[in-house]
Amino acid sequence: MPEKLPSLASPSPQTATAHQARGFGKTAVLMGGFSGEREVSMMSGSGVLGALRSLGVDAHAFDPATQSLAALKDQGFERAFIALHGRMGEDGCIQGALEWLGIPYTGSGVMASAIAMDKVMTKRIWIDHGLPTPSFEALEPQLQVREHVRSVPDRLGLPLIVKPPHEGSSLGVTKVAGYSDIQEAVTLAASYDSTVMCEQFIEGDEVTCPVLGEGENALALPVVKIVAPEGKYDYENKYFTDVTNYLVPSGLPSELEAAIQAIVLKAYRALGCRGWGRADLMIRSADSKPFLLEMNTSPGMTSHSLVPKSALAAGIDYPQLCLRILSMARLDHDAKDKRPA
């Protein structure tokens, strides 16, 4: 059976929330940033900011693209909620800066963030742990020549997926149906990333499963089944249209949902993730076998985002979800005594 999440409620939830809110101190909601997902990050951050303020947290918007990170210390921030997506926000860079500043932050630490942002390294670790993930090839710049690129379908089959391994939100991703299309797809992905990843296409249903917590105390939230028009769950349909359906409860057999949650927890722990995250998977139609695609360590928190939808199905509303994530903010290493004043 799926693991049951403990409730955040208490005999007096309003009092508990107010007490928690005061204890967090001045909180920065990091949003915007420099990546191609800046627009989505602004939407996520605005939602988180409003939710935390509604519960009494002394929360303030902070855009690293327009303010020096040193201002976090200068302005007396005591905690940071990372609502940044993509490079320079989800890849260990901002986490490392916050470690240096001694400001506890939400989500995974430096190494786990860096690894999870790299889909190639993520898959190598999962494969080493015996976890199911589609076959792939990583094309470094010297392998992106036409002669080599045209041979990739011989090994991975068709159709296949071509993507930049350090981007999110489906940026630069192409489903390739034939040999004549693969070079254009590689060129597109290479415009986002020096390395290009070609991945076996899994025909079936797309699902996602969020996780809250750390280590053996991490818990998987309900699985969300994604039903996009013509199977096209791209950047536009993720954030800016209402044509994609999200099913939670997923409608999957309970045994399969529990199996997916178990795989996701193993994948999350294998990468050393903490705080929260969200794994994306495909369920192969032929045999209902789930395959891990990627792990998001700073998932979207917009009105279309999947973590809030899953959490709500588990009885955690959006403001309480934000508060719970914030309550788990910490540093990789507590070395305040070694930091300059």
Nearest to 2 by CA among 315, 293, 256: 256
Catalytic, 327? Answer: no
For 328, the 3-state DSSP assignment is: coil
Round to whole Å and give the CA distance between 81 and 27. 7
Catalytic, 278? Answer: yes
Q: What are the tokens at 318?
A: 């959006």
Choice among 35, 108, 113, 169 that is catalytic: 169
**Helices then strands, each counted (H, E), the chain:** 13, 13
CB of 321 closer than 8 Å to CB of 224: no
Round to whole Å and give the CA distance between 52 and 41. 16
Q: Can you tell me which residue has the tokens 């991945």?
A: 199
> Per this entry, what is the length of the chain?
341
CB of 105 closer than 8 Å to CB of 183: no
Choice among 79, 274, 278, 324 that is catalytic: 278
Choice among 268, 300, 305, 324 that is catalytic: 300
Catalytic, 269? Answer: no
Choice among 294, 305, 310, 318 that is catalytic: 294
Choice among 37, 90, 91, 257 that is catalytic: 37
Catalytic, 285? Answer: no
What pairs with residue 284 in β-bridges? 204
Choice among 280, 298, 305, 318 that is catalytic: 280
Catalytic, 287? Answer: no
- Kindly state the helix (H) or strand (E) to which residue 227 belongs, with its residue range: strand 224-227
Choice among 47, 105, 107, 239 that is catalytic: 239
Choice among 108, 113, 296, 298 that is catalytic: 296
CB of 41 closer than 8 Å to CB of 66: no
CA atoms within 13 A on the CB side of 93: 15
Pairing relationship of beta strands 196-200 and 136-139 according to DSSP bridges = antiparallel
Q: What are the tokens at 132?
A: 């199911």
Catalytic, 255? Answer: no
Q: What are the tokens at 252?
A: 């999957």
Q: Which amino acid is at 71?
A: A
Catalytic, 78? Answer: no
Round to whole Å and give the CA distance between 139 and 151. 12
Q: Which amino acid is at 6?
A: P
Catalytic, 206? Answer: no
Catalytic residue numbers, as ranges = 37, 169, 239, 278, 280, 294, 296, 300
